[in-house]
């Protein structure tokens, strides 16, 4: 067996410079990789043995691939499952029952506010309740007198009217109490309750702080589903539709979301088309505010082929691939439409080429070496 077997892929420049081992190797002509100029500019000359020794893989373009858009995005709480929590009347915070990140159930008391306005509302409600009770008593009395033919009918009608008005006033004060969060307990205190179940994602108050009516005190979000806001060009937006699946990536994590909305109009400030994807987050692995990358298919691209991202190199700002020739490899410019999942979608190929995949960076390095040597002469 030949003792010159390589157990590891050597850098191409080293492979090309190795002296032949043993007498059998000395009989072979030395192989060289050079960067030619003129009609062969951008060509690296290699023998099949040198290609194999350098670990350069040969791949074929894949036809019929979808164009893949990759866009930066940020995880946000679902607007349909997020609510700001405020108090209808102002006062001083005397109790805070929940902190950031804690789970809460619907109706849970998040905070307690001490307020003179609350005392006033409760007093009005008590007065309305007393007036309603008195009106009921008066109506019952008038009904007895009317049956005994002691009181005229007009007095009965007036009592019924008074009773109706008292009931309306009582319901109004009760609704005001409910809207303000005033329930049982101290006369001058109200409870600020969670309108939905979820987690506390914002808390804007501290103990002892005086708050104004309708000021946002908390924000509660149901994070079992989160939203991803996207901004698409008009051209790309025309290729996608609500209901399509998109891939969400962050480091080694992957998840599938679904587009729930693609705006029919452009955003006036950006000139882009807003879109929203919803992501199942029952596992709690995605957090609002987290930066992610979203990949989505933009449909079949005319004249486009899929190649491994490792085949794409950049020289002087131009994306290129190395196409196999009888004498080695030739640099061919391509246009990268999209990247994602280890595959790049490109135009500029016919689809019949054999191109360098893994190890193509060594061809770029050798090409740069040849250009440097040529420039030094």
| Phi, psi dihedral angles at 243 (to 5 degrees) | 100, -15
**Residue 232: predicted pLDDT:** 84
Are residues 28 and 157 located together in one domain of the fold? Answer: no
Are residues 176 and 199 located together in one domain of the fold? Answer: no
Tell whether 53 is covered by a domain: yes
Are residues 88 and 196 located together in one domain of the fold? Answer: yes
- Report the range out of 22-26, 36-40, 76-80 with the highest average pLDDT: 76-80
Tell whether 2 is covered by a domain: no
Q: Which helix (H) or strand (E) holds 225?
A: strand 225-232
Indicate whether 4 pLDDT > 60.
no
Are residues 263 and 330 located together in one domain of the fold? Answer: no
Mean pLDDT of 58-66: 76
**How do beta strands 253-262 and 82-86 pair?**
unpaired
What's the pLDDT tens digit per position in 72-110? 888 998 888 999 998 888 889 999 999 988 999 998 999
Confidence of residue 300 (pLDDT cuts 50, 70, 90): low
What's the pLDDT tens digit per position in 311-339? 999 988 899 999 999 989 999 999 887 76
Are residues 334 and 210 located together in one domain of the fold? Answer: no
Report the CATH number that the domain containing residue 51 is assigned in CATH.
Answer: 2.40.420.20
Tokens of 298: 């933009």
**Residue 34: predicted pLDDT:** 45
Q: How far is the CA of 323 from the CAs of 12, 129, 166, 334, 356, in angstroms?
A: 17, 90, 91, 11, 6
Tell whether 6 is covered by a domain: no
**Residue 293: predicted pLDDT:** 87
What's the pLDDT tens digit per position in 111-153? 988 888 777 777 888 888 899 999 999 999 988 988 888 889 8
**Residue 35: predicted pLDDT:** 42
Mean pLDDT of 328-356: 84
Of 298, 320, 346, the one marking the end of a domain is 298
- Average per-residue pLDDT for the chain: 80
Are residues 138 and 175 located together in one domain of the fold? Answer: yes
Report the CATH number that the domain containing residue 248 is assigned in CATH.
Answer: 2.40.30.170
H-type helices in the chain, by residue range?
12-17, 22-26, 48-53, 116-147, 153-180, 234-237, 360-376
> Model-level pTM?
0.51
**Residue 10: predicted pLDDT:** 37
Tell whether 331 is covered by a domain: yes
Domain count of the fold of the chain: 4
- Please tell me the distance from the alpha carbon of residue 64 to that of residue 300, in angstroms, as a whole number: 7
Confidence of residue 295 (pLDDT cuts 50, 70, 90): confident
Tell whether 3 is covered by a domain: no
Tell whether 5 is covered by a domain: no
Tell whether 103 is covered by a domain: yes
- Report the range out of 87-91, 222-226, 247-251 with the highest average pLDDT: 222-226
Report the CATH number that the domain containing residue 217 is assigned in CATH.
Answer: 2.40.50.100
**How do beta strands 304-308 and 343-347 pair?**
antiparallel
Tell whether 16 is covered by a domain: yes
- Report the range out of 14-28, 115-129, 167-181, 245-259 with the highest average pLDDT: 245-259
Q: Which one has a higher pLDDT value, 371 or 51?
A: 51
- Please tell me the distance from the alpha carbon of residue 356 to that of residue 93, in angstroms, as a whole number: 68
Range of the domain at 261: 68-78+222-298
**Residue 162: predicted pLDDT:** 92
Buried b or exposed e, range 303-313, using 16+ CB within 10 angstroms: ebbbbbebbbb
């Amino acid at each position: 067996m030949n003792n010159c077997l390589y157990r590891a892929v050597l850098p191409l420049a080293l492979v090309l410079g190795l002296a032949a081992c043993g007498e059998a190797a000395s009989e072979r002509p030395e192989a060289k990789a050079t960067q030619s100029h003129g009609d062969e500019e951008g060509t690296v000359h290699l023998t099949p043995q040198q290609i194999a020794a350098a670990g350069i893989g040969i791949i074929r373009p894949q036809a019929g691939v979808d164009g893949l858009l990759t866009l930066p995005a940020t995880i946000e709480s679902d607007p349909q499952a997020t609510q700001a929590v405020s108090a209808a009347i102002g006062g001083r915070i005397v109790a805070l029952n929940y902190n950031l990140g804690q789970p809460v159930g619907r109706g849970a008391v998040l905070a307690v506010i001490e307020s003179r306005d609350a005392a006033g509302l409760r007093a009005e409600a008590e007065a309305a309740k007393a007036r309603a009770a008195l009106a009921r008593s008066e109506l019952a009395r008038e009904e007895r007198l009317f049956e005994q033919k002691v009181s005229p009918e007009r007095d009965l009608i007036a009592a019924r009217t008074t009773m109706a008005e008292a009931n309306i006033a009582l319901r109004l004060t009760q609704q005001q109490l409910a809207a303000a969060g005033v329930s049982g307990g101290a006369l001058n205190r109200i409870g600020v309750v969670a309108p939905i179940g979820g987690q506390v994602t914002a808390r804007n108050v501290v103990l002892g702080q005086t708050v104004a009516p309708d000021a946002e005190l908390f924000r509660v979000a149901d994070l079992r589903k989160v939203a991803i806001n996207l901004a698409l060009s008009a051209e790309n937006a025309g290729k996608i539709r609500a209901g399509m699946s998109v891939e969400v990536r962050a480091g080694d994590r992957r998840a599938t979301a679904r587009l729930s909305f693609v705006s029919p109009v452009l955003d006036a400030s950006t000139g882009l088309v807003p879109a929203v994807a919803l992501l199942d987050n029952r596992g709690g692995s995605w957090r609002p505010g987290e930066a992610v990358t979203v990949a989505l298919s933009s449909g079949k691209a005319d004249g486009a082929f899929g190649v491994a991202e490792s085949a794409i190199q950049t020289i002087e700002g131009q994306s290129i691939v190395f196409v196999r020739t009888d004498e080695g490899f030739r640099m061919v410019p391509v246009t990268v439409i999209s990247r994602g999942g280890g595959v790049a979608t490109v135009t500029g190929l016919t689809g019949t080429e054999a191109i360098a995949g893994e190890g193509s960076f060594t061809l770029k390095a050798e090409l740069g070496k040849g250009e440097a040597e040529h420039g030094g002469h």
